[in-house]
Amino acid sequence: MKRKARLGFAAVVLVGAVAYLMYTGVRETAVYYITVEEFAQRRHSLVGEGVRIAGRVTPGSVQRRMSPRGEEVWFELGDFQDDGHVTPVIRVFYVGVVPDMFRDEGGSDVIVEGQYDGSILRAQTVLTSCPSKYEAIEPGSDSQGTRK
Protein backbone atom coordinates (compact mmCIF):
# COMPACT_ATOMS: atom_id res chain seq x y z
CA MET A 1 0.00 0.00 0.00
CA LYS A 2 2.76 2.38 0.96
CA ARG A 3 4.45 1.54 -2.33
CA LYS A 4 1.28 2.31 -4.26
CA ALA A 5 0.90 5.61 -2.44
CA ARG A 6 4.49 6.59 -3.24
CA LEU A 7 3.98 5.65 -6.86
CA GLY A 8 0.80 7.71 -6.97
CA PHE A 9 2.58 10.66 -5.39
CA ALA A 10 5.41 10.44 -7.90
CA ALA A 11 2.86 10.28 -10.71
CA VAL A 12 1.10 13.40 -9.49
CA VAL A 13 4.39 15.28 -9.13
CA LEU A 14 5.48 14.26 -12.63
CA VAL A 15 2.17 15.10 -14.27
CA GLY A 16 2.18 18.42 -12.45
CA ALA A 17 5.72 19.27 -13.49
CA VAL A 18 5.08 18.39 -17.13
CA ALA A 19 1.80 20.30 -17.20
CA TYR A 20 3.49 23.31 -15.61
CA LEU A 21 6.35 23.20 -18.13
CA MET A 22 3.90 23.01 -21.01
CA TYR A 23 1.72 25.75 -19.56
CA THR A 24 4.59 28.21 -19.03
CA GLY A 25 6.22 27.30 -22.32
CA VAL A 26 3.00 27.86 -24.19
CA ARG A 27 1.96 31.00 -22.29
CA GLU A 28 5.26 32.65 -23.18
CA THR A 29 4.80 31.84 -26.82
CA ALA A 30 1.01 31.86 -27.19
CA VAL A 31 1.21 35.47 -28.31
CA TYR A 32 4.44 35.02 -30.17
CA TYR A 33 3.82 38.20 -32.13
CA ILE A 34 1.21 40.95 -32.55
CA THR A 35 0.02 42.24 -35.88
CA VAL A 36 0.62 45.75 -37.18
CA GLU A 37 -3.06 46.53 -36.70
CA GLU A 38 -3.01 45.37 -33.06
CA PHE A 39 0.11 47.38 -32.52
CA ALA A 40 -1.52 50.49 -34.00
CA GLN A 41 -4.46 50.17 -31.60
CA ARG A 42 -2.19 49.95 -28.53
CA ARG A 43 0.65 52.07 -29.82
CA HIS A 44 0.54 54.59 -26.94
CA SER A 45 0.73 52.01 -24.19
CA LEU A 46 3.61 50.27 -25.96
CA VAL A 47 6.08 53.19 -25.94
CA GLY A 48 9.36 51.97 -24.45
CA GLU A 49 8.18 48.36 -24.36
CA GLY A 50 9.75 45.43 -26.17
CA VAL A 51 7.45 44.19 -28.91
CA ARG A 52 7.45 41.47 -31.54
CA ILE A 53 5.42 42.47 -34.58
CA ALA A 54 4.67 40.46 -37.69
CA GLY A 55 3.88 42.19 -40.95
CA ARG A 56 4.86 42.72 -44.53
CA VAL A 57 7.60 45.03 -45.73
CA THR A 58 5.98 47.76 -47.82
CA PRO A 59 7.42 47.27 -51.32
CA GLY A 60 9.80 50.04 -52.30
CA SER A 61 10.19 51.35 -48.74
CA VAL A 62 13.57 49.81 -47.94
CA GLN A 63 16.55 52.17 -47.63
CA ARG A 64 19.97 50.77 -46.86
CA ARG A 65 23.07 52.72 -45.93
CA MET A 66 26.45 51.55 -44.72
CA SER A 67 27.63 53.10 -41.48
CA PRO A 68 30.58 52.36 -39.19
CA ARG A 69 28.16 50.41 -36.96
CA GLY A 70 27.06 48.16 -39.79
CA GLU A 71 24.35 48.41 -42.37
CA GLU A 72 21.52 50.76 -41.41
CA VAL A 73 18.18 49.62 -42.76
CA TRP A 74 15.00 51.70 -42.81
CA PHE A 75 11.74 50.20 -43.94
CA GLU A 76 8.00 50.41 -43.47
CA LEU A 77 6.04 47.54 -41.98
CA GLY A 78 2.38 47.06 -42.93
CA ASP A 79 -0.24 44.37 -42.44
CA PHE A 80 -0.51 41.21 -44.49
CA GLN A 81 -3.81 42.04 -46.24
CA ASP A 82 -3.44 42.87 -49.86
CA ASP A 83 -7.13 43.44 -50.48
CA GLY A 84 -6.43 47.10 -51.14
CA HIS A 85 -7.58 48.57 -47.81
CA VAL A 86 -5.04 50.88 -46.25
CA THR A 87 -3.50 49.53 -43.08
CA PRO A 88 -1.36 51.43 -40.62
CA VAL A 89 2.37 51.36 -41.24
CA ILE A 90 5.26 51.37 -38.77
CA ARG A 91 8.61 52.91 -39.56
CA VAL A 92 11.35 50.44 -38.62
CA PHE A 93 15.03 51.17 -38.09
CA TYR A 94 17.52 48.33 -37.87
CA VAL A 95 21.30 48.11 -37.77
CA GLY A 96 22.85 44.77 -38.64
CA VAL A 97 22.61 41.95 -41.09
CA VAL A 98 19.16 41.26 -42.49
CA PRO A 99 18.33 37.67 -43.56
CA ASP A 100 18.81 36.74 -47.22
CA MET A 101 15.07 36.33 -47.62
CA PHE A 102 14.53 40.01 -46.74
CA ARG A 103 13.57 41.71 -50.00
CA ASP A 104 12.33 45.11 -50.95
CA GLU A 105 10.38 44.11 -54.03
CA GLY A 106 7.38 41.88 -53.56
CA GLY A 107 7.19 42.56 -49.85
CA SER A 108 8.81 40.04 -47.49
CA ASP A 109 6.85 38.73 -44.52
CA VAL A 110 8.90 39.61 -41.47
CA ILE A 111 8.76 39.39 -37.70
CA VAL A 112 10.48 42.35 -36.08
CA GLU A 113 11.61 42.41 -32.45
CA GLY A 114 12.50 45.72 -30.94
CA GLN A 115 11.46 48.76 -28.95
CA TYR A 116 8.94 51.39 -29.97
CA ASP A 117 10.17 54.86 -29.05
CA GLY A 118 6.94 56.72 -29.83
CA SER A 119 7.60 57.32 -33.50
CA ILE A 120 9.76 54.53 -34.87
CA LEU A 121 10.40 50.91 -34.03
CA ARG A 122 14.06 50.31 -33.24
CA ALA A 123 14.55 46.69 -34.21
CA GLN A 124 17.00 44.35 -32.49
CA THR A 125 16.07 41.39 -34.65
CA VAL A 126 14.52 41.03 -38.07
CA LEU A 127 13.28 37.52 -38.90
CA THR A 128 11.82 36.55 -42.25
CA SER A 129 9.05 33.96 -42.29
CA CYS A 130 8.75 31.65 -45.26
CA PRO A 131 5.63 30.77 -47.23
CA SER A 132 3.95 27.47 -46.34
CA LYS A 133 3.76 26.54 -50.02
CA TYR A 134 6.61 25.09 -52.02
CA GLU A 135 6.73 25.49 -55.77
CA ALA A 136 9.12 24.02 -58.27
CA ILE A 137 11.53 26.48 -59.77
CA GLU A 138 10.88 26.95 -63.49
CA PRO A 139 13.65 25.42 -65.52
CA GLY A 140 15.95 28.12 -66.88
CA SER A 141 14.43 30.90 -64.78
CA ASP A 142 16.55 32.88 -62.37
CA SER A 143 13.86 33.81 -59.89
CA GLN A 144 15.51 31.54 -57.31
CA GLY A 145 16.66 33.07 -54.06
CA THR A 146 20.20 34.14 -53.35
CA ARG A 147 21.04 30.58 -52.26
CA LYS A 148 22.44 28.50 -55.04
Partner 1 sequence: MIPPRKPRAIWERFLALVAGATMVMAIGAIFLYVPTDRVQGVVQRIFYFHVPLAIVTFVAFGITAVGSAFYLWRNDPKWDQRAHASAELGVLFCTLVLITGPIWAKPIWGTWWTWDARLTTTLILWLIYVAYLMLRNLTSDPEQGARYAAILGIVGALDIPIINRSVYWWRTIHPAVLVTREGGTGLTDPRMQLTLLVAFVALLLLFFWLLKLRTSQVQLEAQLAETERALLQMS
Which residues would be at the binding site for partner 1 (CB under 8 A)?
7, 10-11, 14-15, 18, 21-22, 25-26, 28-33, 54, 98-102, 111, 125-138, 143-148
CB of 77 to partner 1, least distance (A): 15
Closer of 101 and 120 to partner 1 (Cβ) = 101
Closer of 119 and 143 to partner 1 (Cβ) = 143
Longest dimension (CA), the chain: 74
CB of 44 to partner 1, least distance (A): 23
Residue 16 φ/ψ region, left for φ over 0, alpha for ψ in the -120 to 50 degree band, beta for the rest: alpha
Q: What distance in Å separates the CA atoms of residue 92 and residue 17, rounded to the nearest whole number?
A: 40
CB of 50 to partner 1, least distance (A): 13
Q: 3-class DSSP state for residue 113?
A: strand
Q: 3-class DSSP state for residue 25?
A: helix
